[in-house]
Structure 1
Amino acid sequence: MVSVIIHANEDIDPLADTLAMLVSGSVFGLVSEVILWSENHSNVLKTVADDTGCRYLSRSDLGTAITSAKSKWLLFLVPGARLLDQWREILSRYIENETRPAQFRLIGTKKVTKLRRFLGLNRQLEGGLLITKNQIASIYNNQTPLHKYLRKLNPVTLPIQILDSSQ
């Protein structure tokens, strides 16, 4: 199973697109939880999280979202990202048999989000990021910037298209 982590803001329309896409993954037992995190508190995000069954971590940071995730695999997405094709089947097979980080084939347009700037990985996170909790937890600390390690990950590109419709 996969924990999905989304750095959320009050722009609800792109977030709604991503959450709607994740429903089928939840129904089929692939997505165990969705974590929305934000540096600030937002009543709008709290309401969205409550209404959709997500966990909302307000006044939080990426490290808190990572450590609170329940699944072995973490999937980082940005609001507006939608996985296309047969994403559930391909992702399910991948996490059963592989351990390397992965990303998806980006199509469409995108804009830089706070999460991308925070991680320093505009290009890599455009295609999402699938990584085990142990892999990311072992490198995430306050002394070593996360982006220095992630640039060296060389993630596998899965045959799943991801559409970033956040513009």
Structure 2
Amino acid sequence: MISVVIVCRNQEPELSVTLSSLVQGAVEGLVAEVVVVDRGSTDGTAVLADAAGCRYVVEADLREVVREVRGEWILFIEAGARPLLGWVEHLHQHVMSGGKPARFSPSREYRLPFLSRIMKRPSALTHGVLMPKRQAIANCRSGSSVEAVVRGVATHKLNCEIVPASVLSLA
């Protein structure tokens, strides 16, 4: 159904957090594949991705990665982010209804400190972005970053929460 794309570099611990939170989606048949796009890691990212059954690509052009994913929907998510309970049902309903691009709601329990929220411009991926594959392909240019692909895309806010990767880095 959906393919998950995670771009990372030397983020083995963060990647393990995200991959473990995606297991339920794989078990229930929502997540067809996870693609880890490595931007030159020197840690154990490759070993972790392989052990978790992910497709692992190094320094690949994002446009080619997006074209080759199996799912008709793509969830772009940061290494370290983790969807919270109930996310599988919400994403499944959204995809089946043929909805527009969407993002998770920010977690109320795991919020960044107030000043961090107002002083720092959040990444377009802070709350993940779910979009149809055809739209992702249309937004991808050769050499594009994930940030460039999802920035400016009008998204629907899903009724399920995510803990942003930035919360993990503060812990």
TM-score normalised by length of structure 1: 0.83
CA RMSD between the two structures = 2.5
How far off is 1:61 after superposition?
3.0
Indicate the residue corresponding to 2:67 in structure 1. Answer: 67
Q: Structure 1 residues 42 and 131 mapped into 2: Cα distance closer, same or farther (>3 Å)?
A: same
Once the two structures are aligned, what percentage of the paired residues are identical? 29
Indicate the residue corresponding to 1:97 in structure 2. Answer: 97
d(CA) in 2 for partners of 1:147 and 1:37? 14
The yes-or-no answer on 1:47 pairing with 2:47 is yes
The yes-or-no answer on 1:155 pairing with 2:155 is yes
Give the alignment of 1:6-155 within 5 angstroms. Answer: 6-40=6-40, 42=42, 44-107=44-107, 108=110, 122-142=122-142, 150-155=150-155
Structure 1 unaligned residues grouped into runs of 5+? 111-120
Indicate the residue corresponding to 1:166 in structure 2. Answer: 168
Structure 1 runs (4+) deviating above 6 angstroms are: 143-149
d(CA) in 2 for partners of 1:53 and 1:146? 22
Matched AA of 2:36: L
d(CA) in 1 for partners of 2:62 and 2:69? 11
Q: Structure 1 residues 109 and 10 mapped into 2: Cα distance closer, same or farther (>3 Å)?
A: farther
TM-score normalised by length of structure 2: 0.81
Q: Structure 1 residues 144 and 70 mapped into 2: Cα distance closer, same or farther (>3 Å)?
A: closer
Q: Structure 1 residues 82 and 43 mapped into 2: Cα distance closer, same or farther (>3 Å)?
A: closer
Secondary structure class of the residue paired with 2:92? helix
Matched AA of 1:138: A
Structure 2 unaligned residues grouped into runs of 5+? 113-120
